[in-house]
Structure 1
Amino acid sequence: MSVAAVRLNHAVLFVADLERSLAFYREAFGMEVVALEPRANAAFLRLPRSGNHHDLGLFGVGDQPPRPRGAIGLYHLAWQVDTIDELVEARDTLSRLGALGGESSHGATKSLYAADPDGNEFEVMWMLPRAEWGVYENTAPVERLDLAGERQRWSGVRTAAELVPLERPAG
């Protein structure tokens, strides 16, 4: 039998400068600090619309050489937004912060890629309505993102509520 998880609950990152990272995640995502643990030089943050205790933990560890891109370990975290309109707003915010690194369409998801001040990569993505996945059900292409065209087609369509199905599939 497998673990019956429903989603990734939170992520924890080691960062060089805790205050610098707190400022970044507050400005980029509007996160609030819900707990500080000075003995561990740590902070726990929550997204504004989250029902979670905390969505991100940050542990300050001081300056260290960054892990080389492509080394074993975490590649990126993905933060989901509810509408394509919010993805457009995210692009503006990440560009303003100098964090935006790229964007692409993966068929069922539309994605922006960025990095925090320590080089921790993350994705901000919007998912098509489940009923619209079609040929993307079992594929994840990497294609050019036409964000203006996607916004024109999907503006106002909310999909975050589709995250957890009501029943667990048998198996």
Structure 2
Amino acid sequence: MINIDRVDHLVLTVADVDRAAEFYERILGMRTVTFPGDRRAVSFGQQTIKLHAASELVEPTATHPVPGSANLCFVTEQPISEVQEHLRSNDVRIEEGPVGRTGTFGPITSLYLRDPDGNLIEVARYDEEAEATTSAE
């Protein structure tokens, strides 16, 4: 049996690497990283999302790599109301939320939006973090 420790990186196939990097940087606060060969990614915490242009795929690749086929969930410690305001002030349409969902470690409150390629992006906050913040105030 293989014992997996963590995810090192994910790859998103995008129509335009510049546009995708700008969105993830400006809207979600990630930082753009450049790898040898001018390949780019966005990074946050200890995670990286490599951005591969659909017109210049890097082999090996997924069987059907197409922009807009991903569904990703990112966790924030910020109050969801602040995330919602940031999205609105940057003219990012909220598809759904705030709504209650279940994350890896329990109940979360989520907002759903789409990146420039149509990937579904969920920004979530664990409910116990919200309760701990409220209790401390």
TM-score relative to the length of structure 2: 0.69
Q: Quote the RMSD (CA, aligned, Å).
A: 3.0
Residue 31 of structure 1 deviates from its aligned partner by 1.5
Q: Distance in 1 between matches of 2:86 and 2:18?
A: 20
2:21–2:41 Cα contact (<8 Å) kept: no
SS at match of 1:45: strand
- CA apart distance, 1:12: 1.4
In the alignment, residue 133 of structure 2 is paired with which amino acid? Answer: G
Q: Which of 65, 72, 81 is equivalent to 1:77?
A: 72
Gaps of 5+ in 1: 131-150, 158-171
For residues 10 and 4 of structure 2, the distance between their equivalents in structure 1, rounded to whole angstroms, comes to: 19
Write the deviation string for residues 95-114 of structure 1: whole angstroms up to 9, x where unpaired.
32324211111261101111
**Partner of 1:3 in structure 2?**
3
Who is 2:42 aligned against? 45
1:97 aligned residue (91, 101, 109)? 91
> C-alpha separation between the residues in 2 aligned to 1:61 and 1:37?
19
| 1:1-171 alignment runs, 5 A limit | 1=1, 3-5=3-5, 7-38=6-37, 42-47=39-44, 50=45, 52=46, 54-62=47-55, 74=70, 76-83=71-78, 85=79, 87-95=80-88, 96-103=90-97, 104-106=99-101, 108-129=107-128, 154=131, 156=133
Distance between the aligned counterparts of 1:23 and 1:118, measured in 2?
Answer: 12
Shift of 1:29: 1.5
> Retained in 2: the 8 A contact 1:32–1:46?
yes
Kept in 2: contact 1:18–1:59 (CA 8 A) = yes
Structure 1 residues 4 and 11: CA distance shift in structure 2, 3 A: closer
Show structure 2 runs of 5+ residues with no match. 56-65
- The whole-number CA distance in structure 1 between the counterparts of 2:28 and 2:92 is 14
Residue by residue over 1:15-73, the C-alpha shift from the partner in whole angstroms, topping out at 9 and shown as x without a partner, is: 0011111111110112112224446xx312222xx1x2x421111224xxxx6x9xxx6
- Distance in 1, matches of 2:37 and 2:7, equals 26
Distance 1:99 1:37, change over 3 A: farther
Letter of the structure 2 residue corresponding to residue 113 of structure 1: Y
Identity level (%): 24
- Please say which structure displays the higher CA radius of gyration: 1
Structure number with higher strand proportion:
2
